[in-house]
Structure 1
Amino acid sequence: MMIALRHVRLIDGLGSVQERATVVVKDDRILSAGPSRSTTVPRGAVDLDVRGMTVLPGLIDCHVHLGLGGEPDVVTVVETDSPGMTLLKAARYAEQTIGAGITTVRDVGYKGHGIFALKQAIAAGLVLGPRVLAAGQAICMTGGHARFIGREADGPIEIVRAVREQLAAGADLIKIIASGGVLTPGTSPDQAQFSLEEIRTAVQEAQRAGKQVAAHAHGAAGMKQAVAAGVRSIEHATLMDEEAAEALVQHEVFIVPTLSALATTAGCPLGAGVPESVVTKARDMSARHEASFKKAHKRGVRIAMGTDAGTPFNYHGENAQELDRMVALGMSPMEAILSATASAAALLGLDDRIGTIQPGKLADLIIVEGNPLKRIALLRDRNRLAGVMLQGRLVSGPLAGEV
């Protein structure tokens, strides 16, 4: 089947914009994309009325937790829900995510291995959701942060076993906890967790299987240790110092800032159900997090969009709020979009397939009423999202009913 999107504004994920462009999709791939005057539409293509709209690559969220639902006390919920209930909820959250124009996610911590069943169900068409890359259980030290969705391990031998368990279950990457966190009682975000040897062991074991490692790290000490160990990305990067920023640039390590996670938690009033210690930690770090993001942007650190969706009041389906926050802290709208398309695809190792609108790439597209380069908030307005296409199939939005 062929679909033609004629006379649209094209944001291609490469940093350029074309007015009055035409994009032709054949089966699951982009056949052509360019100025309408020079782009041939093959006979038999289905024309969609998208004149005046904007088409851009499907957005990529590099940090979600489909097993968490944004409840005030997510730790208690995930600890008390049965595996079956968690999986049913995760399927619902996946549907909300794709409906918001997020066509690929990286799930970086799930209680148990149910996330791999969800990934398979989505790929088989049994459940509607985005493409999923999953880490399985986060690997943490005994008593460490994220133990409620983690696999506790201590020392190189146990680290190897924990990594291999995730890989055997189907992990696309490994997630390691390199500092304390906000949600876990008794842990400090400033303090490093795991030794350099332990993190390096995790990286080496993952790389033996051709996989990358994402490291949760709020504090600068944890960040620097993880970068030295060879991780691919630092998740959060909340309390960055100059030395950490320099290390990230030198080693070309991505950060996934997850600005929305701290902002939504810090912004809720005491008594809303979020444990007081969690709110306190979030509020204490919010200003420093914003400063770290500005520093990273100014220094040219590689930034990929991620939301930490699933944390308190940080709901699946509202992922594009992260782009608003990035722009508010100094990114241009185009830079923010690139962080959620080409840059995110590069981090995930999928830049040969997704992240840009080019012939031969998979047809992951979103079609928006209006111009997000003038108003980035359009990307989080479900009423402006005319269509979401995943591998050439319109799966959501009003345009889905026209094909």
Structure 2
Amino acid sequence: MRYFTLILLLVTVLSCKQSDKVQFISLNSQARLTYKQSEPSPDVLKYIKYQNNSIALTNATFYDGKGNPPKENQTLIVENGHFVSIGKTSKIAIPEEAVVIDLKGKTVIPGIVGVHNHLHIPRFPFIGELASKLYLASGVTTIQTCGSAAPQQEIELAKRIEKGKYIGPDIVTSGPYFTGKGGNPNMIIPESESQIRDTIQYWAQKGVRWFKVYRNTTPEDLEIIINEAHKQNAKVTGHLCSITFEEAVHLGIDGIEHGLNSTSDFRNNKTHGVCNGSREYMDELKIESDEVKNLQELMIKNDVFLTSTLAIYEASIPERAYADQRTLAMMSPYLVSQYQERRRNYDLRKSKDSIRVKRLKRIMEFEHQFYKLGGTLTAGVDAGRHVLPGFGDQRNFELLKEAGFNNQEALKIMTGNGAKVLSNSAIGTIDIGKKANFVILKGPIENSIRHVELVFKNGFGYDPLSILTELKGKFIEEQ
């Protein structure tokens, strides 16, 4: 074991009429808290390029994850896994013991915080070992798994990573999915209130702090789920259908997944508490209408976040559902054959699916409007098809840009906002005193979100190339 020092800050809150921002203004070198952090095992050390207590990142351009424009010609000093000094390169003193990394022409961003980042994909209930490596190599340093098909295996993997026995992002685990009658038989279809409460208590005692409801959950069951989860200091999010966004908000849900695609509030002929009704709204609803804005403002007023999963929706659109070469290189022969079969079926249609293209644009408009109204928008990959863990998170950034967000807004959605909904103030942004979870990109962010040079997590700098080289052709074999 080696010991690290967590530097405590003296924080002064500067209040003024125009801003409630908190500014970090000084360090108290006398106020120090010593804590233990697990030493990486040999199996983890082979992926680590930097494990120095003091690192100076010089001449960097960095985004802070708070929505601010990038800062250029900056030096960031990292000591014992935390940012201790940030400023213009010409004004920052570099400690004598620091390892200097010159980042001229490169970009630093916070580690991605994915909040819809499963450790399973369809037909494969647990892919944690492979997915964790792909996430980390892609710059994802924290994930919330947003529903689990194998909760115990998730918990065990999270502990292995925490103890330095395996590589991957920090994992915020989920309990099993809840749904209702007619729903997925592999999920929990409650038979009684006591079953719901016992299930949540059981997993909460194991450390789970998130539960997800699925499409067929009834309003009555959701109320019990939220009530018990909140008693256990856990949160609830949902992929909704039988329940409208408005109903879920009033019941106290913490977050909602997928945006417009699951907004059953606008379905025609929908039965209360049942996942039915027609979906003309996907093509006809005016996103800028008062009824849409009123719903979004209700979510915002009640502090309900919305999660964007653009990459997986794009994968269902024939004229956009193409895997790039690096993705094909990672995929097993089995998954490559599945992808090629889908492409043949798409190509046989001849006519392009313009309806789904237009729907993607409308989903983007819904999310952009929610964010601009003041909503907390987050993002996650929801891996599947040819959208791989980590790679899909990077694609989300590109799609958020397509949706109208600028670089700093897209990064805030994928980093700072993710940390906010996880109630983890130590991650998600680059600031003095924050954990130094960050990503070094090989160039300007517009061209480099897929070109990750180094990923730092908990004081260690990981080499993505060594991870990805090992994974080629291995994601994921037929069971």
TM range (shorter): 0.7 to 0.9
Q: Is residue 33 of structure 1 aligned with residue 71 of structure 2?
A: no
Tell me the SS of whatever aligns to 1:246. Answer: helix
Residues 1:212 and 2:235 aligned together: yes
1-structure distance, mates of 2:426, 2:244: 32
* CA-CA distance at 1:281 after TM superposition: 11
Give how far 1:169 is off.
3.4
Q: 2:437: which partner in 1?
A: 364
How do 1:135-284 and structure 2 match up within 5 A? 135-144=174-183, 146-148=184-186, 150-177=187-214, 179=215, 193-217=216-240, 221-239=243-261, 240=263, 241-267=292-318, 268=321, 272=342
How big is each residue's C-alpha offset from its partner over 1:329-388, in whole Å with a ceiling of 9 and x where there is no partner? 1111110011111111101111x200111122111011112222xx1x521x23xx1210
Match of 1:353 in 2: 426
Instruction: Give the distance between the partners of 1:203 and 1:35, measured in 2 at CA.
Output: 47
- Out of 402, 409, 413, which is 1:339 matched to? 413
- Counterpart check, 1:100 vs 2:138: yes
The residue number in structure 2 matching 1:8 is 60
Contact 1:54–1:371 under 8 Å retained in 2: yes
Distance 1:395 1:218, change over 3 A: farther
Aligned residue in 1 for 2:375 = 301
Q: 1:141, 1:154 within 8 Å by CA — same for their partners in 2?
A: no
C-alpha distance in 2 between matches for 1:19 and 1:8:
6
Aligned residues: 358
Given the superposition, is the C-alpha separation of residues 9 and 328 from structure 1 closer, same or farther in structure 2, using an over 3 Å criterion? same
Give the corresponding residue for 2:457: 390
Give the direction of change, closer, same or farther, for the CA distance of 1:398–1:95 in structure 2 (3 Å limit). closer
* Contact in 1 for aligned 2:115/2:143 (Cα 8 Å): yes
**Displacement of 1:284:** 9.4
Shift of 1:259: 1.1
The answer (yes or no) to whether the contact 1:387–1:399 under 8 Å persists in 2 is: no
Does the residue aligned with 2:195 lie in a helix, a strand or coil? Answer: helix
Q: What's the CA shift string for 1:271-295, capped at 9, x where partnerless?
A: 519999xx99978954542342243
What secondary structure, in the 3-state scheme, does the structure 2 residue paired with 1:296 have?
Answer: helix
> Structure 1 residues 217 and 282, CA, compared in 2 at 3 Å: closer, same or farther?
farther
Structure with bigger gyration radius: 2
TM (normalized to structure 1)? 0.81
CA displacement 1:25-55 (0-9 Å, x = unmatched): 1112112112112222211111113222111
Structure 2 partner of 1:131: 170
Q: Which amino acid counterpart does residue 121 of structure 1 have in structure 2?
A: R
The answer as to whether partners of 1:23 and 1:33 remain within 8 angstroms in 2 is: yes
The amino acid that maps onto 2:81 is D
**Counterpart contact for 1:151–1:162, Cα < 8 Å:** no
Name the aligned partner's letter for residue 364 of structure 1.
N
Query: In the alignment, which residue of structure 1 is the partner of 2:273?
Result: none
User: In structure 2, what is the Cα distance between the partners aligned to 1:45 and 1:335?
Assistant: 32
Letter in 2 for 1:105: I
Using structure 2 for the length normalisation, give the TM-score.
0.69
Secondary structure of 1:138's match? coil
Residue in 2 aligned with 1:62?
115
Distance 2:306 2:182 in 1: 25
Q: Tell me the CA shift for residue 134 of structure 1.
A: 1.2
Letter in 1 for 2:200: V
Please give the secondary structure, in 1, of the residue aligned with 2:366. helix
Secondary structure of 2:74's aligned partner:
strand
Native 8 Å contact 2:381 2:389 kept in 1: no
Task: Indicate the SS of the match to 1:174.
Answer: strand
**Gaps in structure 1 of 5+ consecutive residues:** 69-73, 79-85, 180-192
Query: Do the aligned partners of residues 169 and 229 (structure 1) sit closer, same or farther apart at CA in structure 2, a change above 3 Å counting?
Result: same
State whether structure 2 residue 418 is matched by structure 1 residue 321. no
* Contact 1:139 1:162 (C-alpha < 8 Å) held by counterparts: no
Alpha-carbon contact 1:105-1:130 (below 8 Å) kept: yes
The whole-number CA distance in structure 1 between the counterparts of 2:355 and 2:225 is 28
